[in-house]
């Protein structure tokens, strides 16, 4: 039987392979090397908690690269030398990838190198949810679970673990956004089969939730 560490290192290796995009799908899309995150600063936690809320009206102003970098690090970046993250995860098996849908395409956040790996060309923002604002807000995070890493669990337990793991990431995003004056909303109103098709996910992978981020429309 493999230890959890062996399982995780296998996961990281296969994640690197799985994340390599097909040429046809990514001809024009480039890897985005994010600036290093600034893991200092931000507002005091209690103030951020006071401001945390859901926002459903956004300006179309894009996020600066530094803000995107800090946001993704806060969401699920590496915060310790052993590769562990800013959010906890069940069974000590990492199952969530963050897909980043912006106007030009979709990337996958790679925490180890802190960059965005190209996944799909084209604007799929409107397909990430059933609400109108998702199509115009600058950024939609789509949380994708590697169900194949939890095949020892029942389907119900698998869903539960993946949903809880996602929820912790989602709350990190909420608090970061509160601290930065950004708006966000965690979303379950998603056409899941359609989004899975659009993202070309393998059979055992599935979308858990999505989350919109942008500047609130004033
Ligand atoms: C699991 C979950 C799913 C949600 N799905 C949606 C959604 O699809 N659309 C939406 O506008 N808000 C969604 N929300 C946000 C909630 O509606 C919101 O958190 C709640 O109304 C409380 O408002 P607040 O976040 O401003 O405190 C969801 C929240 C959670 C935790």
The tens digit of pLDDT for each residue in 101-142 reads: 999 999 999 999 999 999 999 999 999 999 999 999 999 999
Candidate of 53, 133, 186, 209 to mutate for ligand 1, largest count of ligand atoms within 8 Å of Cβ: 186
Dist. CA 109–CA 194, nearest whole Å: 21
- Is the distance from the beta carbon of residue 175 to the nearest atom of ligand 1 less than 6 Å? no
Q: Which residue's C-alpha comes closest to atom 15 of ligand 1? A: 186
153's CB contacts (< 8 A; 6+ apart) are 91, 161
Return the axis-axis angle of helices 155-180 and 65-76, rounded to nearest 10°.
140
- Is the distance from the beta carbon of residue 51 to the nearest atom of ligand 1 less than 6 Å? no
Q: Which residue's C-alpha comes closest to atom 7 of ligand 1? A: 187
Predicted model pTM? 0.90
Compute the distance from residue 126 Cα to the ligand 1 centre, in Å: 18
- Is the distance from the beta carbon of residue 164 to the nearest atom of ligand 1 less than 6 Å? no
- Is the distance from the beta carbon of residue 163 to the nearest atom of ligand 1 less than 6 Å? no
| pLDDT tens by residue, 138-168 | 999 999 999 999 999 999 999 999 999 999 9
| pLDDT tens by residue, 10-63 | 443 333 333 334 444 556 899 999 999 997 899 999 999 999 999 999 999 999
Question: Residue 5: pLDDT band by 50, 70, 90 thresholds?
Answer: very low
Average pLDDT, the chain: 90
| pLDDT tens by residue, 172-193 | 999 999 999 999 999 999 999 9
Structure tokens at 88: 């906890």
Q: What is the CA radius of gyration of the chain?
A: 16
- Is the distance from the beta carbon of residue 36 to the nearest atom of ligand 1 less than 6 Å? no
DSSP 146-190: EGGGGTTS-HHHHHHHHHHHHHHHHHHHHHHHHHHT-EEEEE---
DSSP 56-97: --B--PPPPHHHHHHHHHHHH-B-STTS-BSS--GGG---EE
Compute the distance from residue 210 Cα to the ligand 1 centre, in Å: 11
Instruction: Check if the beta carbon of residue 191 is closer than 8 Å to that of residue 126.
Output: no
- Is the distance from the beta carbon of residue 53 to the nearest atom of ligand 1 less than 6 Å? yes
The closest-lying atom of ligand 1 relative to the alpha carbon of residue 174 is 25
- Is the distance from the beta carbon of residue 189 to the nearest atom of ligand 1 less than 6 Å? yes
Q: Which residue's C-alpha comes closest to atom 20 of ligand 1? A: 54
pLDDT at 26: 53
More confident residue, 204 or 24: 204
């Amino acid at each position: 039987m493999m230890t959890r560490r062996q399982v995780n290192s296998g996961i990281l290796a296969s994640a690197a392979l799985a994340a390599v995009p097909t040429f046809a799908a990514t001809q024009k899309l480039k890897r985005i090397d994010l600036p290093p995150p600034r893991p200092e600063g931000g507002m005091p936690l209690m103030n951020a908690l006071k401001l945390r809320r859901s926002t459903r009206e956004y300006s179309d102003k894009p996020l600066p690269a530094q803000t995107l970098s800090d946001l993704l690090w806060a969401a699920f970046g590496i915060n310790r030398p052993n590769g562990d993250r800013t959010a906890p995860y069940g069974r000590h098996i990492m199952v969530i990838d963050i897909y980043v849908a912006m106007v030009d395409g979709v990337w996958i956040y790679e925490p180890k190198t802190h960059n965005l790996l190209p996944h799909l060309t084209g604007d799929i923002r409107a397909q990430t949810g059933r609400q109108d604002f998702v199509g115009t807000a600058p950024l939609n995070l789509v949380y994708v679970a590697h169900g194949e890493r939890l095949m020892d669990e029942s389907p119900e337990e698998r869903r539960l673990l993946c949903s809880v793991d996602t929820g912790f990431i989602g709350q990190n995003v909420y608090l970061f956004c509160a601290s930065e004056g950004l708006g966000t909303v965690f979303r379950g109103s998603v056409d899941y089969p359609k989004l899975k098709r659009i993202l070309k996910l393998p059979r055992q992978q599935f979308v858990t939730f999505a989350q919109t981020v942008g500047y609130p429309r004033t």
